[in-house]
Chain A
Amino acid sequence: MSSVRRILVASVVSVVLMTAFLGFAYPALMAGFASVTFPSQAAGSLIRYHGQVVGSALAAQGFSSPAAFHERPSATSPAYNAAGTTFSNLGPTNPALATLVKQNAAAVLKLERPYNPGLTIHQVPVDAVVPSGSGIDPEISLDYAQLQSHRVAAVRHLPLATVQQLIEETTDGRWLGLFGEPGVNVLELNLALVKLGGK
């Protein structure tokens, strides 16, 4: 057997074996294992309410009602597309970024000021005005949640303390209290409000 042919045979056999084991057996084994041990995570951390899937704990969904907490801006198309994630890719000197920040800040001020008298742009946290990395960041900063809590409490006719209690309950802390940053899960928070009833 010539050496070229020997190399080709070894290569083709390897490609077949590796695809069979690493490409099929390994993911199938993991999927089987996951469906038994972590079925919820394996399926996408879906959240059900009254038997219906209302979203995923790991994806923003675009709340716009004044009675709900809103998520961060999204650059996906359409916004909050959980099957088409993307960065905004707006460079720091791109004029479009400056315009976007201005527009988003104005929108936040217009929405929140009636419930936060004297609110100025200096109190609007940065995560409220710039797009997230995935376009479906399920979390907002504690600061942004506090800002919105006044509106949500007023529109829902709930005591502010109740809303803030819910914020605390739906805050994901740092891992081991050290790694990463805390954030409030918006879908879980809004669902908790819905479960509370009223409106």
Chain B
Amino acid sequence: MGQGVAQILVFVVILIAAAYPFGLYMSRVFADGDAFLTRGRLHFLGGVERGFYRAIGEQTTKEQTWKEYLLHLLGFSFVFVLFLYLILRLQGHLFLNPEHFSGVSDFISFNTAASFVTNTNWQFYAGESTMSYLSQMAGLAVQNFVSAAVGIAAMVALFRGFSRRSSQTVGNFWRDLYRAIVYVLLPLALVSAVILIAAGVPQTFHSYATATTLQGGHQTIARGPVASQIAIKHLGTNGGGFYNSNTAVPFEGPGSFGGYFELFLELLIPFASIFMFGRWIRGMRNALAIFVAIFTLFAIGVGVNFAAEQHGSHVLRTSGVNITHSGLQTGGNMTDKEIRNGIAASALFTTGTSATSTGAVNAGLDAMTPLGGAVPLTNIFLGEIIFGGVGSGMYGLLFIIVLAVFIAGLMVGRTPEYLGKKIEAKEVKIAALGALYPAVVILTLAAVSIVTKSGLASIFNPGAHGFTETLYAYTSQAGNNGSAFAGFGGTSFSSYLGGIDMLFGRFVPLIAALALAGSLGAKKLVPASAGTVRTDGGTFSVVLIGMIILTAGLMLFPALTLGPIVEGLMK
């Protein structure tokens, strides 16, 4: 246990040390005017950027109102959904398909296209036995860049809402998209892909390898252009694996190093986004108050999952086998876990992947103890705001902040304002929609699934656990997370329902974020007075935690009772 705690603590310290400067860097990347990088030795980048703007039409790269920004974002996403759907359907007739996979079925293609365009990466298919190299690299991996960049763009637009005064515009979608890809995601992806290859992640266009095993058997070993996809899969908090078992597969998360490095990548931008916000609004203390609040929730998640999984399931504890931690074994609930990860790294990864909207897994969630499995479920249900997805986590969090400022202001009888912007009825309505909407969709669709025969057909495990599988599926898809209690099967019913879940779970809060940006940006700045609620101290951290529990938390609790809590009491 001590060893486990030590590795988690050291990891977190390294992460924060890297995320802080990266956040400052990001805040410069999206500043108005030419990108700062293009002023120095890298001035050719400015030419490349202008070339892109010319290619898509200079007219489209002017400052936009929030409605224009949204329209361009939706149009772009729609074209990409169609494009991805076609690649998946037609892969059997296309090139780079050495294993001769046929086209993906219509319902899986719809679900997958919705999944990757919404940054969810929910997977109703097994990658290495379904997807051609073309689909993986030119279809899915491209979306890993693009969907993350769209999230970042919406986040930056909302930041502008706070920083601009009496402004009708919130920036330009294409500029933000381009800069998120070229100055943030791509450089990191290039470096991390190289590191992943060195660590053992395959990167080849050769067909699957065949081996004659030492006992004379025959083994096919799946490989392909894996590393390039895995790098961005984590950086963009996407999470869709090349292999079915995701990071648990040694080719995708090799050695003790692989999983930790990938976790670092997926937490980097969500952590950095908070520091970026601090710099953007010239109020790092405000950002720290937010950071402390959600980091507390994050740490609780890691602790609970770690303790529950190390304690082990009832079946294992009563079976007689040795589950005691020692120098020779990790012990605990090793079902669907890998030796190199053990319990501590699996707990940290599980919490990290569900707190951010990544959804990659290095251990099977379906086989976790009731309490252990409730951690990722709770993280996602709370709205993917405990750091959350790239971009989307930050704007989700800002909804909660607006609500917190409003409620706190009412309680002490002060004017609700945040960063000099008056919070009025309109902002509160938009924020409430953004904050509560995912929970409503989740509960509705999970209920539909649980009372219909077609919905029940997806369930794999019996009893309360089967309910948790269903609840988790619709939570994960609405939260654009993508991790699964993976026994839950992809029928055509659940594929279509899940696809709708993902699209609404992504775009309704995103529309709310842009609407909020427009509404705030148009406001004047109110100077802080004695009547202003302070948002830069420990008190505000506590208020924020309270608000998170008050909104989605209360809606989650009854559902938790039917799933993990019943199961935990059942034995």
Query: Which of chain A's residues has its CB closest to B133's CB?
Result: A27
**Cβ of A34 and Cβ of B329 under 8 Å apart?**
no
For chain B, which range describes its interface: under 10, 10 to 19, 20 to 34, or 35 or more residues? 35 or more
Interface residue count on the A side (C-beta < 8 Å): 111
**B residues less than 8 Å from A196 (CB atoms):** none
A31, A45, A191 interface centre (most CB from chain B within 10 Å): A31
The answer to whether A126 and B204 touch across the interface, beta carbons within 8 angstroms, is no
B244 near A85 with CB under 8 A, answer yes
Q: A1-27 CB contact bits vs B (8 Å, 1 = yes)?
A: 101101111111111011100111011
The answer to whether residues A181 and B341 also contact, given A1-B59, A44-B221 and a CB cut-off of 8 A, is yes
Residue from B128, B146, B228 in contact with A30 in the complex, judged by beta carbons closer than 8 Å: B228
Contact of A91 among B11, B194, B213, B461 (CB under 8 A): B461
Q: Which residue of B lies closest to A49 (CB)?
A: B214
A62 to chain B, nearest CB (A): 7
B51 nearest CB neighbor, chain A only? A17
Is the beta-carbon distance between A42 and B203 smaller than 8 angstroms?
Answer: yes
Is B181 within 8 A of A22, CB to CB? yes
Given known A92-B313, A101-B315, A178-B6, contact A58–B200 (CB-CB < 8 A): yes
At the interface, yes or no: A174 with Cβ under 8 Å from chain B? yes
Asked whether A170 is an interface residue with its Cβ less than 8 Å from the other chain, the reply is no
What is the number of contacts between chain A and chain B, taking CB atoms within 8 Å?
406
Q: Which of A61, A91, A125, A135 has the most CB of B within 10 A?
A: A91
Q: Which residues of A contact B342 (CB under 8 A)?
A: 180-181
Q: Is the interface of A mostly helix, strand, loop or mixed?
A: mixed
Within 8 A of B (CB), among A145-199: 146, 172-175, 178-181, 183, 187, 190-191, 194
- Given contacts A68-B214, A127-B329, whether A180 and B259 have CB atoms under 8 Å apart is yes
- Distance in Å: Cβ of B121 to nearest Cβ of chain A: 16
* B338 contact from A4, A132, A191, Cβ within 8 A: A132
Residues A97 and B335 in contact, CB atoms below 8 Å apart: yes
Min CB–CB distance A2 → chain B (angstroms): 11
- The docked-state distance in angstroms from the alpha carbon of A137 to that of B321 is 20
21 A-B residue pairings within 8 Å (CB atoms): A11-B80, A18-B142, A26-B189, A30-B225, A41-B199, A44-B209, A82-B222, A83-B220, A84-B126, A89-B366, A89-B485, A91-B463, A93-B571, A120-B320, A125-B321, A132-B337, A139-B338, A142-B327, A173-B256, A180-B255, A183-B340
Supplied contacts A53-B209, A54-B213, 10 more A-B pairs, CB within 8 Å = A7-B76, A26-B190, A58-B200, A68-B214, A89-B366, A127-B330, A133-B249, A133-B364, A175-B255, A175-B256
Kindly list the 6 A-B residue pairs having the minimum CB-CB distance in the complex, ordered from nearest: A180-B256, A133-B248, A181-B342, A87-B364, A23-B138, A89-B487
